[in-house]
Structure 1
Amino acid sequence: MERVRTAVYLSVCLSLLTSPSQGQRSADSRLPPDQPGVGLATNQLAAALQGFLDEADSSVALSVEKKASVIPRCDVGERCAMKHGPRIGRLCDCLRGTACNTFFLRCY
């Protein structure tokens, strides 16, 4: 999450820095497109920022997939819990209108 926040701050700063400078330049002071200059640096920064955002998106997707609080659904008659000594561990959530029977450990 911290990487995404940093990427957003970086992109906002870059957009703020490039917007006023483009408005202040006159048509005579601009560099022709065939000469290397400011355009090349901006393209490199944009490519670096895009790579950083792609990496941040992939790490965010992995953290969402690893979320342990999401319990899958199970059908009627399927095993919904498991007994561990005196405790009962849940394997899945029963569908609406059914409940997990604590004796048989199945959805009924």
Structure 2
Amino acid sequence: MESVRAVVYLSVCLSVLTSLCQGQRSADSQLPSAPDEPILGLTTNELAEALQGLLDEADSRVGLSVEKKASVIPRCDVGERCAMKHGPRIGRLCDCLRGTACNTFFLRCY
């Protein structure tokens, strides 16, 4: 939910900045001669730093998609271990690919 909120805030900020920049463009459509000319009271470097900070903050809130989720079981290839035996119980390590099954005697995908 927070990742959606961060994307919405970022898109609103970018659309406002785009509309302001479109209004500031000259009839010749040329860039200003001085690269550090203040825009909205901020220099280009300050705007870039602010945007980078906003993107870093959004990334930290979103989290990585690589993180392991409780409901997702990774996939195993044929011949890999798919389970471990804990006394009388068998715990799953991964899910075998389509067309294969976890052999409960060898504890491998076949």
TM-score higher than 0.5: yes
Structure 2 gap segments, 5+ residues each: none
| TM-score under structure 1 length normalisation | 0.60
Would you say how many aligned residue pairs link Structure 1 and Structure 2? Answer: 101
Larger Rg: 1
Paired position in structure 1 for 2:50: 48
Structure 1 gap segments, 5+ residues each: none
Q: Decide whether aligned partners of structure 1 residues 37 and 94 sit closer, same or farther in structure 2, where only a CA change above 3 A counts.
A: closer
Matches within 5 A, 1:9-88: 9-20=12-23, 22-23=24-25, 33=34, 37-38=38-39, 41=42, 43=44, 44-57=46-59, 60=62, 62-68=63-69, 69-76=72-79, 78-83=80-85, 88=90
Give the distance between the partners of 1:64 and 1:19, measured in 2 at CA. Answer: 36
Paired residue secondary structure (2:22): helix
Q: Decide whether aligned partners of structure 1 residues 8 and 74 sit closer, same or farther in structure 2, where only a CA change above 3 A counts.
A: same
| TM-score under structure 2 length normalisation | 0.60
Greater share of helix: 1
Identity over aligned residues, as a percent?
50
Paired position in structure 2 for 1:5: 8
Deviations along 1:51-100, one digit per CA (max 9) or x if unpaired, are: 3224534664x420104225032332x32123457754321222443211
